[in-house]
Chains A and B, each alone.
Chain A
Amino acid sequence: MATSIETRLLGRNVSFRVSGPWLAYWLVTLRLAVGWWFLHAGLDKFLAWPFDAGWFVGGAAAGTSLGPLMGPFSDGVGLAVVNVMIPLGQTLIGLGVIVGGLTRLAAFFGALLMAFFYFVNGETGGWAHGLVTGELLGLLIFAMVATLGAGRVLGVDAYLQRLSLFSGDSKLRWLIG
């Protein structure tokens, strides 16, 4: 079963057919892979608690493009908050993306976290083989999952969208797709 896409891009008419089943299949597959990536990263940190992000926020980030933004979180209360928010955020993002619940919200914050990892790790050696790294690809997959509202395919969002809270022109609908 194919779906016909007709739109305009860069000033040109674009028309192509997409296989519906394969599109749905890949949205779920990408969600499972990138969701487990984050869920595992979060759970791994909780299982090895305590987690200390000081080497990243205060060490590696200093001197990078995002250093000024991350500096206030390099010690004291700021670092204590980051030490909890990174594993908690990764766990919730991973869970949300895997089960497809509030997927856009989860994927937005996933992309945000990946941006920090991308620039800090990249500028401190990760870009030794070029700027396209796993972190950039992860960021782009999160962006795609969010844009396409992938949680509506075999995900909790498919059920949420039937609730009046998430239907019609409710702004909450932006969180699922």
Chain B
Amino acid sequence: MSEFTTADKIAAYLGGGLVVFGVVGIGVLEIVWGSPHPVSSEGQIEHGALIPLEIRSYIIIVGLVIWAGYAVYKVVATSPDPGPTGTA
């Protein structure tokens, strides 16, 4: 049975968790208690939002940076399993 390593867990749970929290979690909070969308179609920030747009963006950005950092870490610091990957 294949399982996540510690690095995998950080990328999957912390990185993915921040992306999902920023997009979905805060989205649910906003639609119930805040503003259903963070900007107008003209790009004007909706100030009725519970979580300022900038903070919400940075939460998602940190999640994506963790994902990207994990990808770079895998290439730089680890070696692939030497077994076959498939056949052409």
A positions within 8 Å CB-CB of B: 6-10, 64-66, 108, 111-112, 115, 119, 122-132, 136, 139, 143, 146, 149, 152, 158-159, 161-162, 168-171, 173-177
Q: Is the CB of B53 within 8 A of A123?
A: yes
Question: Is B50 interfacial (CB-CB < 8 Å)?
Answer: no
Q: Is the CB of B87 within 8 A of A125?
A: no
Q: Is the CB of B80 within 8 A of A170?
A: yes
Interchain CA distance A139-B43 in the complex, whole Å: 22
Q: Is the CB of A158 within 8 A of B88?
A: yes
Q: Is the CB of B39 within 8 A of A124?
A: yes
Chain B 21-51, CB within 8 Å of chain A: the 1/0 string? Answer: 0110001000000001111111100000000
Interface size range of chain B in the complex = 35 or more
Contact residues in A for B58 (Cβ distance below 8 Å) = 65
Q: What is the number of contacts between chain A and chain B, taking CB atoms within 8 Å?
A: 90
Q: Which residue of A lies closest to B16 (CB)?
A: A143
> 6 tightest CB-CB pairs across the interface, nearest first?
A125-B43, A158-B88, A65-B57, A124-B43, A128-B41, A169-B79
Contact residues in A for B68 (Cβ distance below 8 Å) = 108, 111-112
Interchain CA distance A169-B74 in the complex, whole Å: 13
